[in-house]
């Protein structure tokens, strides 16, 4: 199912911001946000929270370190000074590097431009990145569980709200486009990616929420776990058969739908190179 913001995924979970880079407000005690989005969607998310009468979140949980999931942190922190921002050790380390932040700043300009063109965001001045805290299970609201799920990236983790049966996987199971196509995203390690999928499947969530565009419920959930695993293995076999044309094949396979618009071509080309490299490591 496609996310449209704002959207009550359940009475206690609301999708905010942009459907392409959503943030999620959870009515935990105290309330928290999940995912950081990009800067252009932060004003929309803040406005939606106010209009819906949602209590200010006390913490923001980052589920991995990639730019399209963390660039909303500075404006959110500025608007909500008491907000604590949490991430894995790998995420904290990466976001403390000046060169990384500068490259992210350049990318954020691109995201802002495209989102404005599609009526999904607002341009705001660049703000410095605040300090990110290392995730501490004891500091999280009751009922919230954080699980390391590497494979997509070293800092990837997922959040399971056991009482609600909701699992937030970000990009740990790949990308499902607006047209229903699936693109595996095992940039760090195929083996770890597959292990993470199995770890998450064992939780038996009733609602599965991805990092972009889509969420799944009911009987769809088990099907998506299997499809995510199957599509990754299918891509590996295609790479091994393609030999010297593998990178172009993978690029053409994933440079589709909204990924053509919302991500720079060279970024998708680098994704293709990484996928081929990881596929051949198995």
Q: Which two tokens stand for residue 233?
A: 């293995």
Mean pLDDT by 10 residues, the chain (282 residues): 94 97 97 98 98 97 98 97 96 96 96 95 92 91 96 98 97 96 97 98 98 96 97 96 90 95 96 96 82
- Separation of alpha carbons 212 and 259, rounded Å: 11
pLDDT for 282: 72
Q: Which domains does the chain have, with CATH numbers?
A: 1-142 (3.60.15.10), 150-207+230-282 (3.60.15.10)
Q: Which two tokens stand for residue 64?
A: 């991995």
pLDDT for 107: 96
The answer to whether the CB of 275 falls within 8 A of the CB of 250 is yes
Contacts of 223 (CB under 8 A, 6+ apart): none
pLDDT for 136: 87
């Amino acid at each position: 199912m496609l996310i449209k913001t704002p959207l009550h995924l359940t009475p206690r979970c609301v999708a905010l911001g942009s459907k392409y880079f959503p943030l999620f407000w959870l009515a935990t005690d105290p309330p928290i946000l999940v995912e950081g989005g990009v800067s252009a969607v932060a004003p929309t998310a803040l406005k939606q929270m106010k209009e819906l009468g949602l209590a200010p979140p006390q913490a923001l949980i980052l589920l991995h370190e990639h730019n399209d999931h963390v660039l909303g942190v500075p404006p959110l922190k500025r608007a909500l000074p008491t907000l604590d921002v949490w991430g894995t050790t790998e995420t904290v380390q990466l976001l403390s590097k000046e060169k990384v932040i500068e490259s992210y700043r350049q990318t954020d300009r691109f995201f802002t431009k495209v989102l404005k063109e599609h009526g999904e965001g607002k341009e705001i001045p660049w703000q410095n990145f605040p300090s990110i805290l290392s995730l501490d299970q004891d500091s999280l609201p009751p009922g919230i569980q954080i699980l390391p799920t590497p494979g997509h990236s070293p800092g990837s983790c997922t959040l399971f709200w056991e009482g609600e049966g909701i699992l937030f996987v970000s990009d740990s199971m790949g990308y499902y486009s607006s047209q229903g196509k699936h693109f595996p995203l095992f940039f760090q390690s195929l083996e770890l990616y597959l292990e993470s999928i199995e770890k998450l499947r064992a939780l038996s969530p009733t609602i599965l929420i991805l990092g972009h565009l889509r969420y799944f419920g009911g009987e769809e959930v088990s099907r998506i776990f299997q499809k995510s695993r199957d599509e990754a293995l299918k891509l590996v076999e295609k790479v091994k058969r393609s030999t010297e044309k593998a990178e172009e094949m993978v690029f053409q396979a994933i440079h589709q739908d909204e990924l053509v618009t919302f991500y720079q071509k060279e970024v998708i080309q680098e994704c293709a190179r990484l996928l081929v490299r990881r596929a051949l490591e198995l």
